[in-house]
Amino acid sequence: MTKVGVLGAKGKLGSVICEGIGASDDLELVARIGSQDTLDTLVEAGAEAVVDVTTPAAVMDNLRFCVEHGIHAVVGTTGFDDERLATLRGWLADAPGVGVLIAPNFSIGAILMMQLAAKAAPYFESVEIVELHHPTKADAPSGTAQRTAHLIAEARRAAGAGAVPDATETALDGARGAEVDGIRVHALRIRGLVAHQEVVLGGVGETLTIRHDSLDRASFTQGALAGLRAVSDHPGLTVGLEHVLGL
């Protein structure tokens, strides 16, 4: 049985993940770490792996501690750019056998949505992303939207697809959203929402919309558990839960 700690355990998502770990028969929750708790608790409790669902400001220090202490990490916290990923790879190079899995989304449905969008993208001239979240979300666009944009762009480049057409010459700042790897991403922050995303693709005479909705944070539990069960078999840095789901 794998001994697990949860960083951000007192938050809404962390609480749900703690419940999922507690209900599993192959994972043991040994540490619930909040912002006022010390990471040394992980070592004292014998944690072998952690789930980090904290904040972009805290996650790198958390991961450095885990890597230095030989603790695998499954990360649902967003805010990872190329510089942060390179830093992580450097730390992991000095810690053979330790695995860190960066998961832009823990929802199985969201992972499938991203894969389907990437598969469809080369067949359509136009593609844009709309992500919708609650107004207390700290980052925009979401990590899921950024990951989706990169997957779409990679698929289009591999297929030799051209740039997405856009004849806009004048616009208010932000009117066309953010540009991520050549793909436009629009972020909505609306009270009452949890986590939602749609990818809108268009060609001559037709459109295709691929949408995923997380209506409850419980939807993130199974992906987090799958990551915990697989991370020790994936030493080094892995980006994307699809790599441990066989997608």
Res 146 pLDDT > 80: yes
32-37: average pLDDT = 91
Residue 76 phi, psi dihedral angles, 5° rounding: -105, -5
Q: How far is residue 65's CA from residue 44's CA, in Å, rounded to a whole number?
A: 13
Q: What confidence tens digit (pLDDT) does each residue in 62-108 have?
A: 999 999 999 999 999 888 888 999 999 999 999 999 999 999 889 99
Q: How far is residue 72's CA from residue 206's CA, in Å, rounded to a whole number?
A: 46
Higher-confidence position of 62 and 244: 62
Distances (CA, A) of 223 to 19, 20, 101, 107, 242: 14, 10, 12, 6, 10
For residue 1 the two structure tokens come to: 């049985």
In this prediction, residue 178 carries a pLDDT of 96
Length in residues, the chain: 247
For residue 115 the two structure tokens come to: 């894969």
Residues carrying CATH 3.40.50.720, the chain:
2-102+218-245
Cβ neighbour number for residue 240 with a 10 Å cutoff: 19
Beta-bridge partner residues of 128: 184, 200
171-197: average pLDDT = 96
pLDDT category, 247, cuts 50, 70, 90?
Answer: confident
Closest CA to 186 of 203, 200, 206: 200
**How much is the pTM?**
0.84
In this prediction, residue 4 carries a pLDDT of 97
The domain defined by 108-215 folds into Dihydrodipicolinate Reductase; domain 2 (3.30.360)
Sign of the Cα torsion 186, 244, 107, 10 reads negative
- Geometric angle at alpha carbon 247, from 113 and 144, rounded to 5°: 40
Catalytic machinery residues: 133, 137
Residues carrying CATH 3.30.360.10, the chain:
108-215
Q: How far is residue 66's CA from residue 60's CA, in Å, rounded to a whole number?
A: 10
Which CATH architecture is the domain 2-102+218-245 placed in? 3-Layer(aba) Sandwich (3.40)
